[in-house]
Structure 1
Amino acid sequence: MAGEITDTGELYSPYVGLVYMFNLIVGTGALTMPKAFATAGWLVSLLLLMFLGFMSFMTTTFVIEAMAVANAQLHWKRMESHKEEEDDDSSTASDSDVLVQESYERAERRPILSVQRRGSPSLFEITDRVEMGQMASMFFSKVGVNLFYFCIIIYLYGDLAIYAAAVPFSLMQVTCSSVGNDSCGVDADTRHNDTDQCWGPLRRVDAYRIYLAAFTLFLGPFTFFDVQKTKYLQILTSLMRWLAFAIMIVLALVRIGHGQGEGHPPLADLSGLRNLFGVCVYSFMCQHSLPSLVTPISSKRHLTRLVFLDYVLILAFYGLLSFTAIFCFRGDSLLDMYTLNFARCDVVSLAAARFFLGLFPVFTISTNFPIIAVTLRNNWKALFHREGGTYPWVVDRVVFPTITLVPPVLVAFCTHDLESLVGITGAYAGTGIQYVIPAFLVYHCRKDAQLAFGHGTPNKHRSPFRHTFWVGFVLFWAFSCFFFVTANIVLSETKL
């Protein structure tokens, strides 16, 4: 749950942390990026991707700095509590020489940390996993905490809606074919309508909704329970994901090298900028999971450099995946879920590879859906939690899981436009989580640190973007993007 302080867990090396962060950031958003690139043009897409990568790196360092300040406050409270306990012990001691000697020896054994001055860098070691909900409660007012949970909940709803639509959509694309089309797998002509036939009298949209119902029946019940022991399942899905990405990049490069590339992407097309922005923001999302990712790293000496290296590698990967896609396939033939472009006989001749890539989102997303659902359910509980209070069984086991599961399934029932779902989720809730919340966190934690530990606090994990200008710049950019995306949507609806 977002509001808990939890144990650090098993430690791992900085390079393992680098891999974990890479896996965390590169997810479903990467599969929708090629179409967004083709729609907006390769030059404007590359420039926006690099800029948003830089902005995400900046706010990641903001969150890490806030984590260090939160740890410093917890460490200081423990030190004060320890000192008070020792003072109480000494006040109850008699004046006998033996007890005086014992008190002296106890003082000699007292850890040096307990008498360090307030500005000691060791206070800012990130040893406790302080989740973002806990940091919000430490640095924000009650209104700010509620707004934080509201933003997190909206983002998780968007996540679940994307997952609930992606799995049935992939199954529909792989198993359905247009009438009179002899190709296997996904249609060679991908410009089809939901009203086209799938199996006999069933339309494509009917098949999609049948798959959605099956998806809900199989995975929905997990929302009513706790999901545990997913370590090996997550390792398996990570291996499948990287195998799929490697196959797609290699196949696209081979087709381009053999002169079979069909893509001629434009330089720039501003009409596709809205979805591109949302997809890119969504594809750099990691700020809400940083506490559980960063805290177990054994050595945090070069943490900022490690994060910077991760972002460089992620930018390179996104660029490689997207550029090979837009020059390999025509822009109008690229599907929302990029893996589906390889589920065709004319692209991949090996049937096993076709089905693996076509059904890849089904395997990986299905394992993440219960985890995200349980996280959302717990955040609902945290939002309405009252100190010392417990929920009735019906509210705890029925109401919260139901309000978690039903809305994203209804959204997926109404639309399977994954590019728009990812774009809207990234542009609104994603902007709040990736820009607004980290900016306010670092601003308030710096003020608290100055009050508690004095000016010029030696925080070893302080962000390189130390000037208040950067906080203002992030907020200005976030609100500008919010208004831009909203105006773009309104204009688009007006034209329709």
Structure 2
Amino acid sequence: MPSPPGVQPGEQYASVTGLIYVFNLIVGTGCLTLPAAFAAAGWALSAGGILLLAIVSYMTTTWVVECMACANAINHWRRMKQLKKRGQVADELVNRTLENAEAEADQRSTDTSEDQEEHEEELPLISDGVIERTVGEYYAIQECIEMGQMAKLFYPKVWDKVFYLVLCIYLYGDLAIYEAAVAKSLRDIICNYRPENCSKEPLDLDKCFTDSDLTRLDMYRLCTLIFIGVMGPFVFFNLTKTKYMQILTTITRWLAMGTMISWAIVILGEGKGDGHPTPADFTKLPQLIGVCVYSFMCHHSLPSLITPINEKKSILKLLAADYLLILLFYYLLAFTGVFAFKHLEDLYTLNFQPDPCNRDNTPGVVYGLQIFLLMFPVFTLSTNFPIIAITLRNNLKGLFLRETRRYSFFTSRCLFPLLSIIPPTLVGLITSNVEFLVGITGAYAGSVIQYVVPATLVYYARKMTLQHIGMGVKNPFSSPLQHSIFLIVICGWAVLCWIFVSIYLFGEYRS
């Protein structure tokens, strides 16, 4: 998994900075599909649903933090055990040397000097006192151990492969969402055909240009191919985010979010709001679940974001504050949108595109803001796409390749980058429904990573630390949810999400 944006290995930052990184990670593409999901499921049902899912997501986040501390403790215990073994070997060599010295008194000085050199080579370079931690620091989160590494450490054999497989499926969905969002935004900027009834929502089979038979669907697919043609080659190389790219992406995100919220508030303040959402529509609940799960996803990147924080004593409380702030932000974005607009696009930025009926009379500043909002997904997702694709490429290698075996140039350098970008591109060419892609990705693969993996991982982590370290050393990063009933409830909730979404998809397919 990639390191925190703009952070070099070994670099530390303040807890507030770390929480800003977590905030930026969570508030990504998923929030742009929230208003449409809120409108479909109803404002009251959606408000309660997202609150419940935020609480559940935070619960599993505390388990991930506990697992990170357990993994650090196990690695520390193994290093200490290895040092003790090396110390015992050194003691045996010293005793053997003394016996030889007594038997060969004539060469005592020579033998002693030679053996001392051998003993010095056997002794560790770093003494036990340097590596040994105090009891309170035994579980200190000092080493960045990614979730894949924790899966290998704690899970029984084979199950770590299952984790990698689910993670790859999630990343495939992520890339498909990125491609669809960028291509739709570019298409709506490029296409300028105005139908006779310009107030009518344009369809995929409508013309893109006045003097051309090229449809909007054709342009969408063309934009998808152009996007992958530009960004795809980066996947064949090693690429990391720079600090300046992260700063630019963050500024662009907050300008866009602030503009959309302010615009919707102005519409409501002027009494021009056309939105009249129903309080609840339980048939759309599965769709809301998938979008909300995706909107709170951060678990797979938590180790890279939390480990560099220099002060972690209150990390669980700070994460709770972060989740509360994100929840309030989602409420503000979704509620202003559902009551301001009669129809909400699956990608919220598309609600702010220029009015085809009155484009010539639109003020320049307003038109500029509309184009900026349409380009927002293009800017932000294009910077993230190579990072996600490279992460997927590396995970695919970890899933299928063996570290001890040599592979051909095509297999090691070409095959896996192609496997990373071709499947999501095919999905992006087939469907442009971003909300559908977000719902599927979040409800299935996302719920496994967000619910099932933390619950099962913390179960095995507690079991291993109890076996090797015992109960005498307390984990200061232990989750407040220690009872095993919580693990069962969360796994049951994940199964319930799968059932809801499967029933919904089956009903959509039949209709």
**TM more than 0.5:** yes
Equivalent pairs counted in the alignment come to 477
Q: Which amino acid aligns with 1:56?
A: S
Q: 1:217 aligns with which of 215, 218, 229?
A: 229
Q: Matches of 2:190 and 2:420 in 1, distance apart?
A: 29
Q: Is the contact made by 1:13 and 1:297 (CA closer than 8 Å) also made in structure 2? A: yes
- Say which of 358, 374, 380 aligns to 2:390: 374
Letter paired with 2:294 = Y
Match of 1:334 in 2: 344
Q: Which residue of 2 aligns with 1:37?
A: 38
Once the two structures are superposed, residues 162-214 of structure 1 have per-residue CA deviations (whole angstroms, 9 ceiling, x without a partner) of 011111111112222443469xxxx754x221110111221111111111111
One-letter code of the match for 1:161? A
Q: One-letter code of the match for 1:285?
A: M
Matches within 5 A, 1:241-260: 241-260=253-272
- SS of the aligned residue for 2:345 comes to coil
Identify the residue that residue 157 of structure 1 maps to in structure 2: 172
In structure 2, the residue matched to 1:130 is 145
One-letter identity of the residue aligned with 1:150: L
Distance 1:21 1:188, change over 3 A: farther
Does 1:417 pair with 2:433?
yes
Task: Show the 5 A alignment for 1:108-147.
Answer: 110-111=128-129, 114=132, 120-147=135-162
Q: For 1:229 and 1:50, locate their aligned partners in 2 and report how far apart those are by CA, in whole Å.
A: 32
Q: CA deviation at 1:423?
A: 0.4
Partner Cα separation in structure 1 for residue 373 and residue 8 of structure 2: 38
Counterpart of 1:310 in structure 2 is: 322
Residue 267 (structure 1) aligns with: 279
Q: Quote how far apart the aligned CAs of 1:255 are.
A: 1.1
Query: What letter matches 1:70 in structure 2?
Result: A
Q: CA RMSD in A?
A: 2.5
Deviations 1:226-279 (A, max 9, x none): 113533212211110011001111111111111111111110012221211100
* Greater gyration radius: 2
The equivalences for 1:342-357 within 5 A come to 342-345=352-355, 349=363, 350-357=366-373
Return the offset for 1:115: 8.5
Amino acid at match of 1:111: G
Which segment is superposed worse, 29-38 or 76-85?
A: 76-85
Q: Residue 359 of structure 1 aligns to a residue in which SS?
A: helix
* Cα distance in 1 between the residues matched to 2:258 and 2:403: 50
Q: Percent identity?
A: 46
Alpha-carbon distance between aligned partners in 2 of 1:321 and 1:437, rounded to the nearest angstrom: 30
| Aligned twin of 1:436 | 452
The one-letter code of the counterpart of 2:308 is P
Matched, 1:174 2:228: no
Residues 286-328 of structure 1: per-residue CA shift (max 9 Å, x gap): 0000110110000000010011000000000000000000011
Q: Please, which moves more after superposition, 457-466 or 313-322?
A: 457-466
Supply the AA of the counterpart residue of 1:447. Answer: K
Structure 1 residues 387-443: Cα deviation after superposition (integer angstroms, max 9, x where no partner): 412322111112111111111000000000011000000000001100011110001
Q: Secondary structure at the match of 2:194?
A: coil
Report the counterpart of residue 490 of structure 1 in structure 2: 506
Q: TM-score normalized by structure 1?
A: 0.91
User: Which amino acid letter does the alignment assign opposite residue 396 of structure 1?
Assistant: S
CA contact (8 A) 2:69 2:141 kept: yes
The amino acid that maps onto 2:487 is V
CA distance, structure 1, for counterparts of residue 417 and residue 133 of structure 2: 48
Name stretches of at least 5 consecutive residues in structure 2 with no aligned partner: 99-108
Q: Which moved more, 1:349-358 or 1:249-258?
A: 349-358
Offset at residue 137 of structure 1 (A): 0.5
- Could you tell me which residue of structure 1 aligns to residue 69 of structure 2? 68
Secondary structure, in 3 states, of the residue corresponding to 2:274?
coil
Q: TM-score, normalization: structure 2? A: 0.89
Q: Which residue of 2 aligns with 1:398?
A: 414
- Match of residue 18 from structure 1: 19
Secondary structure (helix, strand or coil) at the match of 1:235 reads: helix
* Cα distance between partner residues in 1 of 2:296 and 2:241: 26
**Paired position in structure 1 for 2:101:** none
Letter in 2 for 1:352: G
Q: Which amino acid aligns with 2:75?
A: L
Inter-partner Cα distance in structure 2 for 1:456 and 1:324 = 52
2: CA distance, partners of 1:178 / 1:110: 74
What SS does the corresponding residue of 2:208 show, helix, strand or coil? Answer: strand
Tell me, in whole angstroms, the C-alpha distance in 2 between the residues paired with 1:114 and 1:237: 41
Taking a change above 3 Å as real, the CA distance of residues 225 and 335 of structure 1, as seen in their structure-2 partners, is: same
8 A contact 1:7–1:129 mirrored in 2? no
Distance 1:460 1:490, change over 3 A: same
Say if 1:188 and 1:344, in contact at 8 Å, map to a contact too: no
In 2: Cα distance, 1:408 partner to 1:20 partner: 27
Is the Cα–Cα contact under 8 Å of residues 25 and 286 in structure 1 kept in the other structure? yes
Q: Secondary structure at the match of 1:389?
A: coil
